Amino acid sequence: MEFMELAKERYSVRKYKDTKLTQEQIDRLLEVSNLAPTGKNNQPHRIYVLQSDEALAKINEITPCAFHAPVVFMFTYNKDEDWKNAREEGIHSGIEDVSIVATHVMFEAVEMGLGTCWVNAYPNIEAEKAFNIPENEKSVLLLPIGYPAEDSEPSERHTLKKDLSEIVRYL
Ligand SMILES: Cc1cc2nc3c(=O)[nH]c(=O)nc-3n(C[C@H](O)[C@H](O)[C@H](O)COP(=O)(O)O)c2cc1C
């Protein structure tokens, strides 16, 4: 699909069919994740594929925002590996790195006829504990992935876009 069409097609899916993803589908999503750029190519991101009944039960217990999808990717980054800006104290690339990697997965999922929802409103530390995430990793976002339910539809917010004149400044 042409990218503009893909971007128009995407919306946050919050209701999924039970249909499991095949290993080939998961592999394809992971393959595209590995094409994403990261700061200095440090690749500090880690992807946890929550797909076992146990892992899915855990994540659905912690947050309603896993939406009982058949698979949930949890993205973290290794705090020791992400790029640090030597010219600006406190600026580092971990969240940006994870975001661009997850964005690659999000759009490839649409291309594959799947839906996703970007989720950052979950108890990150509780999730890190639940899945024994190493101390030096930070959990950033969840991406539930699956076939949208028959009655899934975009929320009202989906089409509420500011006019570009409010957003863009030509200098
Ligand atoms: C950084 C970020 C965090 C988000 N966190 C959540 C979330 O925790 N729960 C949720 O249901 N949706 C979440 N969303 C989805 C947004 O609410 C959604 O993208 C927005 O309302 C526009 O709707 P659309 O994705 O259908 O176009 C998040 C999206 C982004 C980009």
In the chain, what are the domains? 3-167 (3.40.109.10)
Instruction: Judge contact between 20 and 126, C-beta under 8 A.
Output: no
Rounded CA separation 66/73 (Å): 10
**1 pLDDT band (50/70/90 cuts)?**
confident
The model's confidence at residue 58, banded by pLDDT at 50, 70 and 90, is very high
Rounded to 5 degrees, what are φ and ψ at 155?
Answer: -70, 170
What pLDDT score was predicted for residue 126? 97
pTM: 0.97
Summarised one tens digit per residue, pLDDT across range 33-51 is 999 999 999 999 999 999 9
Q: Is 154 in the pocket of ligand 1 (CB under 6 A)?
A: yes
Could you identify the atom of ligand 1 that is nearest to the CA of residue 14? 11
For the Cβ of 158 lying below 6 angstroms from any atom of ligand 1, the answer is yes
Sole residue written with tokens 């979950």: 122
Task: Output the pLDDT for position 147.
Answer: 98
Q: Whose CA is nearest to atom 23 of ligand 1?
A: 158
